[in-house]
Amino acid sequence: MHKILEKRQLSYDQERDQGVYYFKVTAPEIARNRKAGQFIIFQIDDNYGERVPLTIADANADEGWIALVYQTVGASTRKFSRFNVGDEVPVLVGPLGSPTHIEKMDGVVVCVGGGIGVAPLHPIVQAHHNIGNKVIAIIGARSKNLVIFEDEMKAASDELIVVTDDGTYGRKALVTEPLKEICEREKVAEVVSIGPAIMMKFCVDTVRPFGYPITTSLNTIMIDGTGMCGCCRVSVGGETKFVCVDGPEFDGYKVDFDNMMKRMGAFKDKEREADHKCRIGLDAGKVSA
Amino acid sequence: MSEHKTTQELQNEAAKIWEELEAKKTAGTKLTPKDRTAIPPQEMPSRDPIQRAHEMGEVALGFTETQARVESERCIQCGGAPCKKGCPVGVPIPEFIAKIQQGDFKGAVDTIKQTNLLPAICGRVCPQEKQCQSFCTVGKMLKAPEKAVAIGRLERYVADWERANNQITVPTPAPDTGKKVAIVGSGPAGLTVAADTRRAGHSVTVFEAFQKTGGVMVYGIPEFRLPKEIVAKEVENLKKMGVEFKTSFLVGRTETLEQLLDREGYDAAFIGTGAGLPKFLGIEGENLIGVFSANEYLTRSNLMKAYDTEHADTPLYTAKRVAVFGGGNVAMDGARTALRLGAEKVYCVYRRTRAEMPARAEEVAHAIEEGVDFHFLENPTKFIGDEKGKLIGVELLNYELGEPDASGRRKPVAIPGTEHVLDIDAAVVALGNESNPLMAQTTAGLNVTKRGNIIVDENQKTSIPRVWAGGDIVLGAATVILAMGEGRRAAASINEYLASK
Ligand SMILES: Cc1cc2nc3c(=O)[nH]c(=O)nc-3n(C[C@H](O)[C@H](O)[C@H](O)COP(=O)(O)OP(=O)(O)OC[C@H]3O[C@@H](n4cnc5c(N)ncnc54)[C@H](O)[C@@H]3O)c2cc1C
Ligand code: SF4
Ligand code: FES
């Protein structure tokens, strides 16, 4: 049912032994009905496999495929990276979640993507662009070889700013620096931020003094993705919300990122302490939102 | 706690009784009602409590043939069949028991299947002591409802006999009508509608969001209570009848109900999406690490086989001291699963007392045998976490029973000042489920109640033409048999509608 049509490795992080892969998979119904901001859940084994949520990075309704971009971070994603063109993905359900709210806006839309978060950001940039909004995109990575989706983002935005931690490509900065400058100089209608929780948290802090709306897309652990189990719950404005149905996008000012980060670490053996000084925007989280 | 008897011991006891009964029969004496009620109720063989608490295998093992024959002789075939009135789908109970008395097991199971399509499942999970058995004359004569004829166990026996002996007859569907039926959800409601509409010759497709079919029967009710193989067998039989299953298909998102009806050409649709929205306590600390909904806890264990640490990719949250909150089947399943996942101490905290527990009596008894520590008349007020956001305890408040409430049960009333802390490292919230809003949100014109339950008429018809609904999505969290009953009613109405088209 869900045959792999194309497979590419977009980047490889030697330091962490993590690859980022691009998979194009047949899924006619999902391709037809998905909207920007929605995701799928896949499993590489219908008996024992973990259920992994991945945002749809691209889709073509006429050709009946969707594109998925993910990083090898756990057992399932590593096993998935060994799948090849022609193989079937045993379990793939979607599109899940509420679509991004897209409307013609007065002012610039700033889209900030960190690490693998650039992939889920892509359809949102596209959708804003298609409706006629001016989009400035900022994408960040730790180093040159970890920058992904640059051409796609360039094609879909009015201006693209690339930053790297070590300055090996684009500007040597964290995503929050150009974000702040844009907030100072432009009339911003909305900021959209997708990436590791810590990066989104800092984007919110950057935008707060300006009072511009900021939307963040959360990437919690999930099981069913239909609102049945509650494992994806987060605290938003003091209320418990389910990321899989109420989200994945929420008002960045209202999200309790600290609680979310703790919950996301719940199933990891070694919690990687996020060092936000040097890694802001760059420490690609568990899987893409 | 009564002494645990092995299957062999129970079989020996039954064999002795059977010999006496046979002797009477050969002597030509007919058993009087008095003789029959004097036969001791047959105890359900079960695996050793200490050992089984750490294994996933089924706990209740089912009657032996002799036990089933002996138990069936306890039925006095009283007139009027009060038991049948207590059955939500009106199984012809005295008739099927009479077949067992004659040794005709196939005849017995066929009799049950006239109205109940899933006897192997219902025999295991129905709350018989609240339904058929609570009306049984034998229980009344003995002034001991627990000594009623064990109707559920007999039902299970003949259904298991049929499966074990490959005697299952798959019904031949009527000639193709060219009509298409879409069924949303593969729980007991959906599977029943699938069977009945396919039988009428329609082409039937079941859409299921999960990768596996069976609904709560596979992801909620654990293996040790309902082996998944039994549910799989029912689905397999439906496939043999020509029912098509589309898994990992979330109606409302993958395609909307309207798309199925208008674009994919389905002539009728049934919504059996279950309850599936976990209730939380709404108290402080509920989002701490280590607090789970029962749905999450059970799904990780059942569907993703988290207990099988050798094979499973799903990380398992290991906890030594687990508290489960609630008093229904969901709570019992959560508590007993916690034991099997390796917890050293499992508490079950319930606001009322054992008498008010909505769980099946057998499950409560099994949980106690396995060592679950019940805290009755207590309720949590807040969860307590450490600096890393991990659960380390729960604050409980004592309760007492006050005046009866609307449901007739005595209302628990908090006793102020009795707060105390229980040290735990995992909590399972098992307060039941509310209705998942997805179908209502994605289907224009579908009327639901304030609580989100789909509103239907006496034929299970919804506010939208060509769309029926039933099971937990209509009733709120209910039972397998009620879901099946609604499914049968809906299917009859769908068949009637399609025949007239
Ligand atoms: C832990 C637990 C223990 C229980 N124990 C007992 C017991 O001992 N005895 C008893 O009688 N009852 C018990 N129950 C209740 C019983 O399981 C339910 O009442 C019954 O399963 C309801 O059947 P249903 O067909 O309405 O829905 P479900 O069994 O809930 O099935 C609904 C199915 O629909 C699917 N679905 C939902 N939305 C969509 C969608 N949009 N598109 C496609 N598919 C969808 C779901 O994934 C699910 O598989 C228990 C319930 C739980 C949770
Ligand atoms: S009520 Fe009891 S005794 Fe009477 S027919 Fe039913 S099972 Fe037999
Ligand atoms: S993933 Fe289960 S409720 Fe969101």
Question: In the predicted model, what is the mean pLDDT of residues B326-349?
Answer: 95
Ligand 2 pocket (Cβ < 6 Å) reads B 75-78, 81-83, 93-94, 97, 136-138, 149, 151
pLDDT at A15: 82
pLDDT at A275: 29
Ligand with minimal distance to A247 CA = 3
Same domain assignment for residues B329 and B201 = no
Same domain assignment for residues B345 and B448 = no
Mutate to test the interface with B, among A73, A79, A218, A228 (most CBs of B within 10 A): A228
pLDDT at A17: 84
Domain encompassing residue B211: 180-276+434-500
Q: Which of B164, B195, B223 is the last residue of a domain?
A: B164
pLDDT at B321: 96
Residue B381 lies in a domain: yes
Question: In the predicted model, what is the mean pLDDT of residues B13-22?
Answer: 94
- For the segment B56-109, what is each residue's pLDDT rounded down to a tens digit? 899 999 999 999 999 999 999 998 899 999 998 999 999 999 999 999 999 999
Angle at B196 between CA B191 and CA B197, to 5 degrees: 100
A75, A91, A231 member nearest B296 (Cβ): A231
Predicted confidence band of residue B308 (pLDDT cuts 50, 70, 90): low
Residue in chain A nearest B275 by alpha carbon = A228
Rounded to a whole number of angstroms, the distance between the first and last alpha carbons of chain A is: 24
Question: Ligand 2 atom 6: the closest Cα is on which residue?
Answer: B83
- Higher per-residue confidence, B356 vs B94: B94
Same domain assignment for residues B361 and B474 = no
Residue B306 has pLDDT above 80, yes or no: no
Question: In the predicted model, what is the mean pLDDT of residues B416-435?
Answer: 94
Q: Are B31 and B21 in contact (CB under 8 A)?
A: yes
pLDDT at B463: 97
Percent helix, percent strand, percent coil in chain B, to nearest 5: 40, 20, 45
Same domain assignment for residues B286 and B380 = yes
- For the segment B369-383, what is each residue's pLDDT rounded down to a tens digit? 999 999 999 999 999
| Chain B residues inside the 8 Å CB shell of A223 | 296, 299-300, 304
Residue B419 lies in a domain: yes
In whole angstroms, how far apart are CA A192 and each of A205, A250, B1, B306, B448? 13, 10, 61, 36, 35
Q: How many residues does chain A have?
A: 289
Same domain assignment for residues B203 and B251 = yes
Total domains, chain B: 3
pLDDT at A283: 34
Instruction: Specify the pTM.
Output: 0.91
Q: What is the CATH number of the domain that holds B19?
A: 1.10.1060.10
Same domain assignment for residues B451 and B420 = no
CA B490 to ligand 3 center in whole angstroms: 30
- For the segment B105-134, what is each residue's pLDDT rounded down to a tens digit? 999 999 999 889 899 999 999 999 999 999
Q: Are B174 and B119 in contact (CB under 8 A)?
A: no
Residue B1 lies in a domain: no
Q: Rounded CA gap, B475 and B294, in Å? A: 20
- B264: number of CA atoms within 13 Å, CB side? 19
Q: Rounded CA gap, A1 and A31, in Å? A: 13
Q: What is the CATH number of the domain that holds B493?
A: 3.50.50.60
- A287: number of CA atoms within 13 Å, CB side? 27
> What is the C-alpha radius of gyration for chain B, rounded to an integer number of angstroms?
24
pLDDT at A280: 34
Residue B2 lies in a domain: no
Question: Ligand 1 atom 20: the closest Cα is on which residue?
Answer: B480
Same domain assignment for residues B338 and B390 = yes
| Closest to B251 measured CA to CA, from B301, B302, B185 | B185
Same domain assignment for residues B301 and B263 = no
**Residue B278 phi, psi (nearest 5):** -65, 140
A109: helix, strand or coil: strand
Residues forming a β-bridge with B399: B414
Same domain assignment for residues B427 and B449 = no
Residue B169 lies in a domain: no
Contacts of B144 (CB under 8 A, 6+ apart): none
Residue B449 has pLDDT above 70, yes or no: yes
Please give the domain boundaries of chain A with CATH numbers for all domains.
4-96 (2.40.30.10), 108-279 (3.40.50.80)
| Chain B residues inside the 8 Å CB shell of A95 | 253-254
Same domain assignment for residues B15 and B53 = yes
Q: Taking each helix axis from N to C terminus, what angle separates B65-72 and B93-101, rounded to the nearest 10 degrees? A: 120
Residue B130 lies in a domain: yes
Same domain assignment for residues B117 and B218 = no
Q: What percent of chain B has pLDDT over 90?
A: 80
For residue A270 the two structure tokens come to: 């070694």
pLDDT under 70: residue ranges of chain A = 48, 265-289
- A17: number of CA atoms within 13 Å, CB side? 3
Residue in chain A nearest B253 by alpha carbon = A95
Chain A residues at the B interface, defined by Cβ less than 8 Å, are 29-30, 33, 43, 45-51, 74-76, 79, 90-96, 223-231, 233-235, 240, 245, 258-259, 262-263, 265-268
Question: Given an 8 Å threshold on Cβ–Cβ distance, is B250 in contact with A94?
Answer: yes
Q: Which of B164, B190, B225 is the last residue of a domain?
A: B164
Question: In the predicted model, what is the mean pLDDT of residues B210-236?
Answer: 94
Q: Which of B412, B431, B450 is the last residue of a domain?
A: B431
Same domain assignment for residues B123 and B24 = yes
Residue B19 lies in a domain: yes
Residue B231 lies in a domain: yes
